[in-house]
Structure 1
Amino acid sequence: MSEIVLFHHAQGLTEGMRAFAGELTAAGHTVHLPDLFDGHTFGDLEAGIAYARAIGFGTLLERGVAVAETLPTNVVYAGFSMGVMPAQKLAQTRAGAAGALFFDACMPVEEFGAWPEGLPAQIHGGLDDEWFAEDLDAARALADSTPQAELYLYAGTAHLFADASLASYDPAAAGLVRERTLTFLAARG
């Protein structure tokens, strides 16, 4: 089975994030779920982003990288929205990564250098998500340039649609995300 480090989104380590990690654990995977916000959670995205800005995105990125230093190298790096930032950096720069899972975000590959040859990835985003719309070109570029990268787009979904603790939760789309994620992880483990 796979070992995963899963980084939370800007609303913090919500119950929905814990539930998602729990589903992966129940399937036999080992999930590390670092809290980059030191226990703070937010009822809306804007408040979480304001908190992240106050801490500094560079500091959050450093916290995520520091977590990975305590783990084996052959892990899958995963992140939701803001959490894609450390996940993608680690996937692209830490030797031995087993895979990458990006939910609700994708940064341009050039941000962290080149995409490692043969590194598999899945990107999940909503077609109606105004936040993901900003990242859609980067997601398509990664999927088009990397044979092992898959891009899944979900119609009618809002940002963070796979977090069951948020109003934006879409059970049908979240079910597809879980199914595809578990298939991806089973192939890595």
Structure 2
Amino acid sequence: MAEVVLFHHAQGLTPGVVAFAEELRRAGHTVHTPDLFDGRTFGSIEEGMAYATGIGFPGEVLRRGAEAVAALPAGLVYAGFSLGVLPAQLLAQTRPGARGAVLCYSCVPVTEFGPAWPADVPAQVHGMDADPFFVGEGDIDAARDLVAQAKDAELFLYPGDQHYFADSSLPSFDPEATALLIQRVLGLLARV
């Protein structure tokens, strides 16, 4: 069984993020859900990003993400939703022993954190094909580049225009896409 660190999105550690982690736990995996926002949750992406900017985005979010795993073992799978992709991707690329990465709704250029994607770290990137953030802001291009250079990586596109589609506590929730996302993530976790 895998040990996973799941970083929340800009609306905080919502009940929907916790529920997603619980799905992975039900399959037998150990899942840590660090709270990078000290218990705060927000009603919109804009409110959450305003808070993140206030604490020092992206630097402080990356620092808090690294701090959250400092006492954990090296052999982790790093997962993140949107804003949480930043610490997940940083740690997957730079922390020795990473076993995998699951990047949902976002992806930054690999060169932000190193010269290339680590050859021994499998990755999945998930997003909706008409998401104005994932597609409209260029994350899909970074995801395609990551997949092109990685030895073991996949980009999964789901039909729709929702950003936080796997958060069951938000109106953007898409149960069908989420079920497929969970199935694919469990497939990755079963082989790392």
Moved more, 73-82 or 153-162: 153-162
Aligned to 2:128: 126
The Cα of 1:147 is off from its aligned counterpart by: 2.8
Structure 1 stretches lacking a partner, 5+ long:
none
Tell me the alpha carbon deviations over residues 21-60 of structure 1, each in whole angstroms, 9 at most, x when there is no partner: 0010111000010000001001111101111100111111
TM-score, normalised by the number of residues in structure 1: 0.98
* 2: CA distance, partners of 1:17 / 1:89: 20
The Cα of 1:82 is off from its aligned counterpart by: 0.2
Q: Is residue 3–residue 31 contact of structure 1 (8 Å, CA) maintained in 2?
A: yes
Of 132, 136, 139, the residue aligned with 2:140 is 136
Where 2:134 maps in the other structure, the secondary structure is helix
* 2: CA distance, partners of 1:63 / 1:69: 10
Aligned to 2:113: 112
Aligned to 2:77: 76
**Over 3 Å off, 4+ runs:** none
* 2: CA distance, partners of 1:187 / 1:157: 30
* 1: CA distance, partners of 2:99 / 2:65: 17
Q: Is residue 76–residue 100 contact of structure 1 (8 Å, CA) maintained in 2?
A: yes
Q: Is residue 157–residue 170 contact of structure 1 (8 Å, CA) maintained in 2?
A: no
TM-score, normalised by the number of residues in structure 2: 0.96
* 1: CA distance, partners of 2:62 / 2:122: 22
Q: Give 1:4-153 correspondences, 5 Å limit.
A: 4-57=4-57, 58-113=59-114, 114-133=116-135, 134=137, 135-153=139-157
Tell me the alpha carbon deviations over residues 93-121 of structure 1, each in whole angstroms, 9 at most, x when there is no partner: 00110000000000100000021112100
User: Which amino acid in the other structure matches residue 72 of structure 2?
Assistant: L
Where 1:130 maps in the other structure, the secondary structure is coil
User: Which amino acid in the other structure matches residue 64 of structure 1?
Assistant: G
